[in-house]
A and B are shown apart, each in its own frame.
Chain A
């Protein structure tokens, strides 16, 4: 009974840690795909580049 609970405990912590790590990795990957572009007024602009989607809607 207690072993089963200890296993559940480790499972919950494992899920949480892996979930947070996965979220951080996904977010890190998104930010490293930013391009620096000099816009019309000479101001720098950042936009997200999405590998999967080549629609113009991705661009600001």
Chain B
């Protein structure tokens, strides 16, 4: 009788711990995948673990999260590894997941309800892609103006970004590698950006060419890597930095390809 209740008790503890550990690992992986800084992931997970009544030790690796969960007396433990899903930066998901961690802490949610809310957050779609296309084209055209381009150059950059970003969207929807997508997109944008030289319609053709590919620069991974550096997560910081550098190199390759095709001399 005693043995059975002990066994049952142990099995219950194990199941609870397993559920909490899986939730924490998946939560941290989702935050990592949407481009949150490592310190944010740490603080959110710590808050959740305190509410669940467990100790958690987390290892944040560039493409994996390993969570080890102990009960309060350090007698039972469970560990779980999770891979981030999706690689695109998503601030809406970041905000929703951070909010969820506060909800768990303040409403004292159990891990089953929390997992339900977590699944809801993951199902939310991104912004309308046509809206993003329009806003990005306008943004890059404003960029050209900020660098001092005349209005014809701004128009060229608007058209270049429109087509370049459309190519990027279509290729990413087909799950083509993001590096090849960047090269292709930069190539198309730079060919159109060269029209200032080709048709002689702009007074500042070099600015049109130069700014036509700037929408592809991975700015946020650079900044995230800086934040991880300050927080001491050197591995994640280096991995994000190298990923951003590779995308920048791909961008330059596409730009050089476009300039070579249009036989542009370097500005």
| A and B, direct touch (CB closer than 8 Å) | yes
Out of B166, B174, B262, name the residue touching A9 (CB < 8 Å).
B262
Main secondary structure of the interface of A (DSSP, over half): helix
Question: Of B21-29, B79-87, B189-197, B226-234, which stretch is located at the interface?
Answer: B189-197
Query: Given the known A-B contacts A6-B198, A9-B191, A9-B198, are A16 and B167 also in contact in the complex, defined by CB atoms under 8 Å?
Result: yes
What is the minimal beta-carbon distance from B203 to any residue of chain A, in angstroms?
18
B174 & A23 in contact (Cβ 8 Å cutoff): yes
Interface residue B135 (Cβ < 8 Å from any Cβ of A): no
Q: What range describes how many residues of A lie at the interface?
A: 10 to 19
Give every chain A residue within 8 A of B195 (Cβ-Cβ): 9
A41 to B166, CA, bound (A): 40
A10-35 toward B: CB 8 Å interface, digit per residue (1/0)? Answer: 00110011001001100000000000
B167 & A13 in contact (Cβ 8 Å cutoff): no
What is the minimal beta-carbon distance from A16 to any residue of chain B, in angstroms?
5
What is the minimal beta-carbon distance from A7 to any residue of chain B, in angstroms?
11
A5 & B170 in contact (Cβ 8 Å cutoff): no
Tell me how many residues of B have a C-beta within 8 Å of chain A: 15
A13 & B170 in contact (Cβ 8 Å cutoff): no
Out of B163, B261, B263, name the residue touching A13 (CB < 8 Å).
B163
A24 to B173, CA, bound (A): 11
B194 & A9 in contact (Cβ 8 Å cutoff): yes
A9 to B163, CA, bound (A): 13
B188 & A6 in contact (Cβ 8 Å cutoff): no
Out of B166, B170, B174, B188, name the residue touching A12 (CB < 8 Å).
B188
A59 to B202, CA, bound (A): 55
A5 & B192 in contact (Cβ 8 Å cutoff): no
Interface residue A58 (Cβ < 8 Å from any Cβ of B): no
Out of B188, B199, B261, name the residue touching A16 (CB < 8 Å).
B188
Q: Which residue of A lies closest to B195 (CB)?
A: A9
Interface residue A54 (Cβ < 8 Å from any Cβ of B): no
What is the minimal beta-carbon distance from B103 to any residue of chain A, in angstroms?
29
A19 to B262, CA, bound (A): 21
19 residue pairs bridging A and B, Cβ less than 8 Å apart: A2-B198, A5-B198, A5-B262, A6-B198, A6-B199, A8-B261, A8-B262, A9-B192, A9-B194, A9-B195, A9-B262, A12-B188, A13-B191, A13-B192, A16-B163, A17-B163, A20-B166, A20-B170, A23-B170
